[in-house]
Amino acid sequence: MYKIGEALVGKDNEVAHIDLMIGEKEGVIGAAFAHGLTNLSHGHTPVLSVIRPNLPCKPYTLIVPKVTAAGMEDVTKIFGPAQAAVAKAVADAVEEGIIPKDKVDEWVIICSVFIHPEAKDFRKIYQYNYGATKLAIKRALNDQPSLDKIMFDKDRATHPIMGFRAPRLPKWNAPYLQIALDAPDMEKVKKVLEELPKSDKIILEAGTPLIKKYGVKVISEIRQYAKDAFIIADLKTLDVGQLEVDMSFDETADAVVVSGLATVDVIDKFIYEAKRMGIYAIIDTMNVVDPVKMLSSLKEVPDIAILHRSVDSESKQKHRFELISKIKKEFPNMYIAVAGGIEPDTAPEALKEGADILIVGRYITQSKDIERSAEQFINLLGDDIDLKRVHVE
């Protein structure tokens, strides 16, 4: 038996981050424990946790420093407050029944400890590492977190050190509003970005005309003004799909668009490369006579298919909203987006048919009141992601 636990407690330079494994002496954890104790690494010397000199805790616990100890000042923090904190947390976990008393001579613990080089306050180092160790032990022995919790939080959470969100498009938050930034004028784009309301329902699109004028580097420029946004590069690729995917990926695109009029080989390579890079593959079915047949011919289907009525044909073509249900029947995991003159009076019909994404350009970007125009659509889409943190541990 062995279990794995993790916990982060505290703040500032004294913050504690504990990763630990707990298991039987006669198993893989015992073997790793012996190996760690007998194979020393410069700057990362493992040490037994002791409550005080000559009094180790049980189960025996091996502390492994994560950060290189560059001198005696760093060593003192590890051999002092951190070592004592881990040992006391283990001993208290036994006393409180978190660790069964009849297992203290059968189990061992390996505990990786983070000590920031600039940490100064020994009391906080002790306090934070004590709390993190005890919490990590409890989580390990209770098999926390549960899969349900991971699935609930993975698209809501933001890692505190990153400083930005890594946006995805979870199904449970659909439908979305995609703002098509088509005007080939970066100053106008900036104005739109400044005036858009804050919403987890909004997706940004670097439109084809914008990319043609500025190149894919415009994606990074948009990112400067909307660092947490989900940004799509509307490439409408017809050839050399892998190359265009890679270029957009390097500029931080979250999704890329290939034209459904490209050859199957081009589309297959485009989708493969996008998914290999971990970004969304989107296919634009503008002027594709039979989208279902085209999608069925692919080796792997894209993440999103767009039912697109071209700007120049809006007065002649009708929206093909009836295709939404047909495509979803064949490809239930695929998102369906609709584009081409979508307005507040046509959006409800698309949503009723099952559209996951409304793509809107001029109605919002050329509006005298951009915020109000965007909110007309957002009000049709339902609530934003729930950002409230619920502490259940």
The one-letter code for the residue type at 2 is Y
Going along the chain, which residue ranges are E strands? 2-9, 16-24, 47-48, 50-52, 55-56, 60-65, 107-113, 176-181, 202-206, 231-237, 255-259, 280-284, 304-308, 335-339, 357-360
Active-site residue identified among 17, 44, 116, 308: 17
Going along 238-272, which residue ranges are E strands? 255-259
| Sequence-separated contacts (24+) of 223-229 with Cβ below 8 Å | 223/251, 223/252, 225/190, 225/193, 225/194, 226/193, 227/164, 228/164, 228/165, 228/167, 229/167, 229/202, 229/203, 229/204
Instruction: Beginning with the edge strand found earlier in the chain, give each strand of the sheet holding 107-113 in spatial order.
Output: 2-9, 16-24, 107-113, 60-65, 47-48
Residue 188: which of 164, 213, 217 has the closest Cα? Answer: 213
C-alpha angle 243/332/203, rounded to 5°? 55
Q: How far is the C-alpha of 269 from the C-alpha of 250, rounded, in Å? A: 18
35 in active site: no
Query: Contact at 8 Å (CB) between 219 and 235?
Result: no
Burial zone of 200 (CB within 10 Å; 0-12 exposed, 13-18 middle, 19+ buried):
buried
Residue with tokens 């659509």, as numbered in its chain: 377
Active site residues: 17
